[in-house]
Structure formats: C-alpha cells, structure tokens
Chain A
Amino acid sequence: MDDNNKRRARLRSRVRQEVQTEYESARRLMEARDDYDPVWAYFLDLLMRPMDRNGLQAAVGRPVVEHLCNQAPYELFHAMGVHPLRMASGCFAAGRLSAGDFPVLMCPMLKAIVGMQRLRESSQTAPSARVVPTTCDWVVQYQQMTDADPEQTFFMELPHLRESERGQQRWLEQAYELVRFLESRMGVKLKRKALASSVQIFMRAWQAIGRLIEQRRAGRLPAVWFMAVANSFMLDPIEPWTEQLQRVLGHVDAHPSQAAGKGVFLAGSPILFPNFKLPLLIEAAGMTVLGDDLCTSERIWPGAVCPEENSFHGLLRALAERYHMACICPTFADNERRINTILGVLQRYPVRGVVHHVLKGCHPFDIDSFRLERQLKSAGIPFLRIETDYVEEDNRNIATRLEAFAEI
C-alpha cells in the first residue's frame, strides 16, 4: 500500500468513527427528549441503518436499488421485487470525506452521499443498480462524482416543465424506460397485477402518513418525530413500516402533545437525519413546525396515485404523473403552485409564518426562496430565510434569528 492509500485508509477509518459518533449522539438526543416513547424506537433503529448496509440489505430481503430524489416511483421498484433506497444523508462527518474533491459551495447533502459511499467497505453489499432522476445540477453530476458504473446507472431525464404535454409524455416514456432498465438488470418482467398491488400497498402507507400529517398540523406531534418517521421511509420493507406507523398513530391519539408556541411552516431544502438542527432550533426558539414542503418529509408523499384506468399503461401513467406533477421541487420551471401548499396549511391551521431552509449550495431552493418571500410578504405572512449547512458553528446565530422571528 503506498503512502497515499495508507493515508486514505486512515482517514476513512477515522471518519467512519466520526460518522458512528454523529449518528449515535443524534439518536441519544432524541431518546433523551421528554416526549420520547418506546413507540419511536423502531424508527430510530431504522435511521441508524444507512451506516450498516449489510444489515439493511438483510432486513429488506430484496436486491437494493439506490435512487436519488423522489421522482422515481417507489411502487415500480417494489412491484419488480427490488427495494428502492433513497441515497440521501444529513451526515456532516461523511461529507468531510468527499469535501476536498468538490467545490466548497457544493450541496452538503451530495457531499454526504458521496462520503457515505466511500465509507462503504468492499465487504458491504453494493446496490444492484442506481436510478438518478436529473433534478438539480449537482445531481446530474452524480456519476462522475462517484465513478458509479454507467452500466448500472440509469438517468431518468426529468422534464423541467410539468404542465406541458411534451413534458408529461417524456416523463411517461422515462417511466417505461425505467421499467425496461430494471427488467434487464434484474431479469424479471413487470406484471400489471404486481404493479396494481404495489400501488395499493403504497397507498395504504400514504393514507397512514396522511393521518400523521393531520396530527402534526393539529399540533399534536413535534416536528422532529414526524421527520424521524418520514426519514425512515424505505429503510425497512414498506408493510412492517406501515404497521409501525399505525402504532404511532395509536400512540399520538392516546398521548397528544400540546403544540408549544407559535406554529410555523418549514419550507425549502431537504433536512435529513442525523442533522435535525434546524427543527430542533425552531423548537428551542418556542415555535412548532405544523407543516413542511421538504422532499425528505411531507413531500415524499405529495398528491395521490388515483388510477381510474387499470391497464398497465393506465397504472404507469397515474404513477408517473403523481411523481412528476404533484412535486413542487424548484428544479421545475413551472412551479408557481408551490405556494399553494403553504397557503393551504396557513388557511386551515394556526400557522403564523414561514421559515425557509436553504442548504448552502442548494441553488434551486435558494433562488425560489426569493420569489416565495415576495409572494408571502405581500400577503402579510412573516418569512425568514435560514441559509446553513451541516456545521454547528452557526447554531447560535440561527437561534437568535429564530427567537427574533418568534417575537414577530
């Protein structure tokens, strides 16, 4: 082993240790909360799984296909007997492992994703394939950042216009392409019945999470617990996960916590375990997040799959549209309806303002936040933009701004 390699191996083992510590301390923090209950243990266990890919693989019991972003339909993977696992990470330590190779102002989530992949030892199970919907500029560079095998990587070309006929057709074609890609890699044929039953299974999860969303909006569930549940999606097979969600619903029904302080809506860039700093700081500033439009939280399940046509084509079209048209990711050009989700929550629930999270380097949300700010302020709704990344150094500063916001 030459010096370079040795140094890298040393760094890797140090970072692995740090990653472990980061995940564990985040977990301990959650367990030490007054509102902790054993019902949450299952979800906290799942949140630890990304560190142990072999364990995860064994738990899901199917070949794992990794994907980036929310646009690749989960139901489709599931119907083909594979387990979709979203590559996403909120781990600061993992990001440090890759930071040196990329621009300083690159999305910290992508840095963390690449870092987590580099940490994976050769003994750990590699994914069977990877699916990358071409959302933002960082994501489209995914392959060259990771040297992923092009044969095993499928880029779903995401049309940035959703309300045009051409955009919708192209996306449907991409869904067909994805089916072909997975069929050729996995050697299985996707059947209409399997797809229909998979749609049902995920709709049940959608229904249950809808109830949890309602509980949260009504102020009966602290934001961090909601996020813990949401972040753990697909870190276990979908059916037991949904069952556990039912237990949680029962628990929240029986022990509703009372919303402390002013309700806010949390918008913007994704927030991922173990980095729950923003929701925790919001809470510490005396506010409660009653709703959000984060793609790692409520926006994992936007819209609903409602197929009137149950032919294979009809099902695939319903799926494709749910993942394309219902998503309000600012990588889309025609995204003026993003504000509607916020206004909808604002009208029905006691939400007093919007906190907009911008991950440093997340340009789409950064740009979009200015438009949103104009729209909301003109409607008299307080708005606060928080730009940060996975570091903790700016916590005090953010806390002060949040406290001032809570006073408004």
Chain B
Amino acid sequence: MVFKLRLIVQHLFFVLLTYGGRFGFHMGFALPCFSCPFVMGCGGSCYLLSLQGNWWGLQMALANWGTVMGLQALYYLGLFVLLTLALNKFWCGWICPFGTLQDWFTYLRRRLGIREAQLSWSARDRLKPVKYILLAYMIVVPLLIAHAGLHYDFHLPFCRSICPAKPLMPLFAGSTRHLALDFTNTVTLVFSILSVAIAGGMLVGMFFKERFFCLFCPMLVLIHLLRKISPVRFEKEVGACLGCGNCRRNCPMDIRDVHEQKTDKAVLSEDCMLCMTCTESCPADGVLSVRFFKWRLFSSSRDYVARRFIKPHKAGSVKVKV
C-alpha cells in the first residue's frame, strides 16, 4: 500500500532530519524541505536558510561571483537543484518533517471525527499567489540588506518572521526558545511577534485543514520551477478518466487540475506534493501514474482502490474473494 510506505518513509525522515545530527548524520545545507536548522542536532538543513543567508545567499553569489564565498553560495544552489531534480515534489509529500507534523494533526482530527474545513474554489485560487509573495520577500530583503543599506536586523526575514517551522520544530528537540519574543529592538520584536502569531494560527489551520501551511509554502514554487527537467513525472491518461472527482476531493492540497485536465498528460501542478493520494483513489485503471524516467512507480487501478478502501472482512459481514 502506497500510503503505508509513505508513512514509513515520512517517519523515518522525520527522525533522521530532526535528530540525525546527534548521531553524526547530516544531509547538508540545501535540502528542498523544511528540515529546520534551528532544531538543535538536526540531520539536514532547509535550503531556504541558505537562500536568505547574507553570507551564503543568492545576493552573495551575485555580488561575489568568482570568489570562494560566491562559489560556496553557488554550491548550495547547485546542490539544491540536484536534490530537487532527483526527487522533485517527493520532498514535500514524503520527506519534509514539517509536512509530516501537519499530517499528524490531520490524523488526530480524523480520529476525532471532526470534519475538515473546506475552502471555496475562489478562496483556494486567491491563496495561490501568497507563496510567490513570500518567495519574493525572502529574496528581496537580503538584497536590500546587501545593496541598499537595509539594517541587518532584517536578516533571515522569512525564517524569523514567517516560517512556522522555526518556533515549532525545535520543540521536538526540547527547545522552547524560538517561542520567546525578542525585545532587542522594534524590528526583532515585530519579527518574533509575527513568527509566534503565525505559528499559532498555523496550528489551528493545520488541525482543521489538511496541509494548511503547504498552501503557502514558497519551497513548492522553487521545486516546481525544475519539474520539466526532473525525471519525476506525474501523468494522466486523459482519454480514460471517468470524471469521478475522487482525485480532487481526496487531494490534501485541494488541487482541481488533475480532475479537470482533459488534454495534457502532465498533471504535476504547482501545489502538488506527490503524496499520490489521488492516484490511490482513482478507480480508473492506469489513468494516473507516477513515473521516474520511464519506470512506472505507481499507477491507479480499480483493484488497488478496492484493497485500499475496503476494510478487511469482519465476522458477520460478507466475504469477498479477491
């Protein structure tokens, strides 16, 4: 079962990326997922930190290309590109520890039988540009610091004022310090208030709406930029789709494109995190498939749907021969 395999992979990476450093495991500083370096002893670091960092960020590469520092920034970028090419959105759906944390909230809500908050189509569409704005914010502010004299207190703008992983993920390493307000000056205070408030809002959002933070995640944009040259493919045989809508309803990201697509076979959309839930719920044989180069990793089928959604027979009910 794909969802079981995914759960195992997610939890394995949650442990590795949250505690790996304590055992000498570290996947580098350019991971295409929210493996937050503010977690003491983490096993790898989110590329967004490298992207914004004044000493290793994009602005450094631009200003100092050819120098060692510039090359180091490019090295991080290159590593990020390689990792993203290799696994593309699998980083989001299968590896990102912050994504796994969100899935725990959904699991809890479902166990309690509480219904999910549903966004209207227009509200969902209006949220789409937010991640671009956040990406612009984390690129422009460091540039302004480097080239337009903006005060250094604005450094790491996304991590320090927006990202909910920074206050929340260190809790798993026993640290509450990123929940504290920083009274050093107005900028730090505003940043820390924003950070804690957003984290609080996200906790509520994550409980009522599956993968709530992912709706705004700027990492999705960066990964998506490379989808065309990545060997990871998510395809639809449009001519055999029944239009049943299972893919749309079950998508944690409320993606409508997979259902609506009637002409193009590429359906890896901007917000997709390759969790494959849609493919698992599609009852049409071979209509949705996820591929790596030419190899098919998984394909939809009526048989799979039956195995995934029909609970094992209990005494007293009907036995179905499979």
Q: Tell me the A residues contacting B by CB distance below 8 Å.
A: 162-163, 165, 168, 192, 200-201, 203-208, 210-211, 239, 242-243, 246, 249-250, 302-314, 317-318, 321-322, 325-326, 328, 336-337, 340-341, 343-344, 347-348
Chain A residue contacts of B306, Cβ below 8 A: 203, 206-207, 210, 304
Interface SS of chain A: helix, strand, loop or mixed? helix
A337 and B243 form a contact (CB under 8 A): yes
Q: 22 A-B residue contacts at CB 8 Å?
A: A165-B121, A201-B318, A204-B320, A207-B322, A208-B321, A210-B306, A302-B242, A303-B283, A304-B246, A304-B302, A304-B306, A307-B309, A308-B249, A310-B110, A311-B113, A313-B115, A314-B115, A318-B246, A322-B246, A326-B243, A337-B241, A347-B240
CB pair A344–B302 under 8 Å, yes or no, is no
The answer on a CB contact under 8 Å between B116 and A242 is no
Compute how far the CA of A270 lies from the CA of B24 in the bound complex, rounded to whole angstroms.
68
Instruction: Check A204–B318 contact: CB distance below 8 A.
Output: yes
Closest beta carbon of chain B to A173's beta carbon, Å: 13
- B317's partner among A200, A208, A317, A344 (CB-CB below 8 A) is A200
Q: Are A163 and B260 in contact (CB under 8 A)?
A: yes
Q: Does B110 contact A341, Cβ atoms closer than 8 Å?
A: no
Complex contacts, B318 vs chain A, CB 8 Å: 201, 204-205, 239, 242-243, 246
Q: Is the CB of B242 within 8 A of A337?
A: yes
Question: How many contacting A-B pairs (Cβ < 8 A)?
Answer: 126
Q: Report the contact-size class of chain B (Cβ under 8 Å from the partner).
A: 35 or more
With both beta carbons as reference points, the residue of chain A lying nearest to B113 in the complex is identified as A311
| Contact A311:B243 (CB < 8 A) given known A203-B309, A304-B283 | no
Interface pair A306/B113, CB less than 8 Å apart: no
Specify which chain A residues have a CB less than 8 angstroms from the CB of B113 in the assembled complex: 192, 310-312
- Per-position 1/0 for B85-121, Cβ under 8 A of A: 0000000000000000000000000100111100011
Q: Which B residues between 207 and 230 are near A, CB-CB below 8 angstroms?
A: none
User: Which chain B residues lie closer than 8 Å to A200 at the CB level?
Assistant: 310-311, 317
User: Inside 8 A of A168's CB, which chain B residues have their CB?
Assistant: 245
**CB pair B244 A304 closer than 8 Å:** yes
In the complex with contacts A200-B310, A210-B306, A321-B245 CB distance below 8 A: yes
> Which residue of the partner chain, among A204, A325, A344, contacts B245 with CB atoms under 8 Å?
A325
Looking at the assembled complex, report how far the CB atom of A232 sits from the nearest CB atom of chain B, in whole angstroms: 16
* CA gap between A327 and B234 in the complex, in Å: 26
Whether B277 sits at the interface, judged by CB under 8 Å, is yes
B147 at the interface (CB under 8 A from A): no
Within 8 A of A (CB), among B286-322: 302-303, 305-306, 308-311, 313, 317-322
Give the chain B neighbours of A162 by CB distance below 8 A.
243, 245
In the complex, residue of chain B having the shortest beta-carbon distance to the beta carbon of A240: B318
Which 3 residue pairs across A and B have the least CB separation, nearest first?
A303-B244, A326-B244, A311-B115
Tell whether B269 is near chain A: CB-to-CB under 8 Å: no
- How far, in angstroms, from A328 to B242 measured CA to CA in the complex? 8
- The answer to whether A311 and B110 have CB atoms under 8 Å apart is yes
Chain B residues lying within 8 Å of A341, measured Cβ to Cβ, are: 242
Task: Report B-chain residues with C-beta under 8 Å of the C-beta of A344.
Answer: 239-240, 284-285
Smallest Cβ-Cβ distance to B306: which chain A residue: A207
Q: How far is the CA of A362 from the CA of B262 in the complex (A)?
A: 28
Task: Say yes or no for B72: interface residue by CB 8 A criterion.
Answer: no
CA distance A132 to B320 in the complex (A): 32
List of B residues within 8 angstroms of A305 by Cβ: 309
Known contacts A249-B321, A308-B277, A340-B239; is-contact A165 B244 (Cβ 8 Å):
no
Cβ contacts under 8 Å, B309 to chain A: 203, 304-307
Q: Quick one: which of B262, B302, B321 contacts A246, CB cutoff 8 A?
A: B321
Assuming A311-B115, A322-B244, what are 20 further A-B pairs, CB within 8 angstroms? Answer: A163-B259, A201-B318, A203-B309, A206-B306, A207-B310, A207-B320, A246-B321, A303-B242, A304-B244, A308-B249, A308-B250, A308-B277, A310-B110, A312-B113, A321-B244, A321-B246, A321-B249, A328-B243, A340-B241, A344-B285
Name the contact of B320 in the complex, choosing from A246, A311, A322, A340 (C-beta under 8 A): A246
